[in-house]
Each structure stands twice: as structure tokens, then as C-alpha cells.
Structure 1
Amino acid sequence: MLFNSYPFIFLFLPITLIGYFVLVRLNHLAPVIWLALASLVFYSVSNWQFVLLLLASVAFNYVIGGLLISKRPRPASRAAALTIGVAG
């Protein structure tokens, strides 16, 4: 599915936006989860075989981000985490 295709414009985008604006009234976490799941669905429509690769990349970047914002590591550890995150 492309961004300029009719299924995206008239089906996927409205459902995603309606879901987002309904969930944003409940709390702050639900719309984030909704958009993440909608992104995975959008990505999997074109080629579902790479969804695991995308999830692995998200998990890797989440761990690296956690290391970067942690208060414990020394500056050298943060620099190493940043280097690994950019290279990985």
C-alpha cells in the first residue's frame, strides 16, 4: 500500500486517525500504542516478512535509547552506546 493509493487515503488513514483521536481522550499511552500498531500493519501490508526485522530494530533502538538517558553510565559508556546505536 502506497501513501498515494486509494486504500490508504480512504480506508487506512481515516481508521488510524479516528482511532487516534478517540484514544487520545482516554490517556496518553493508548494513542501511542495505536499508532505503533497501525505502523506495523501499514508496513506488513506491503511485505509481512520484514516485520520481525522492523520489530528487532525497534527493540534495539529502544535499548540504546534507554542506555543514553540512563543516569548511571559514564560519558564514555554513553558515547559507546551512541556509536553502537548509530552504526547498528
Structure 2
Amino acid sequence: MKTFGGGSAPDDGWQNAIVHCTWSCGMASIASCDCKETADLTAIHEHCGNQSQMDMVNNHRGRQCAGCSGSDADQGGGESHTRLTS
């Protein structure tokens, strides 16, 4: 995976964790993509690519940062993923 600095980041390194967390948080934060849709999209991405448990956890943490609540399994389907409001 290419990083912003042009180098490669190990799949389970801290740089990759930041990418997954910010990607999920960003998607869940935009009006056109709700928490469940974000969970579904990230689960599909992980299942079609190089899935790792760490990626799934970082995706879930990103959705939490966006105010979503839901399954710790981070699978997306069948769980209640709603945005929390303050």
C-alpha cells in the first residue's frame, strides 16, 4: 500500500490503521453514506481484498469516531449501525 509520503506501509502497521480508521470515519460522516452502509462497504472491501482482523477493527473504530454504534464484529450486515447524536 502506498502512503502519502510515497513509501509502502505494512498491511498491519500503524500507518495502515490510520488509513482504515480515517476512511471509515469519513464515509460514515458524509450525509450520503450512513453507518450501516459504511459498515457494509468496508466489510465488502475487506472480504474482496487482503482482509485482516486488524483492518476490520480499525474500520469499526473509525465508524465509532463518526458517532456510529453497532457490532464489534464489524461485519456490517444484520446489525444495528446508527449514528449517535449529542
TM normalised by structure 2 equals 0.33
TM-score, normalised via structure 1 length: 0.33
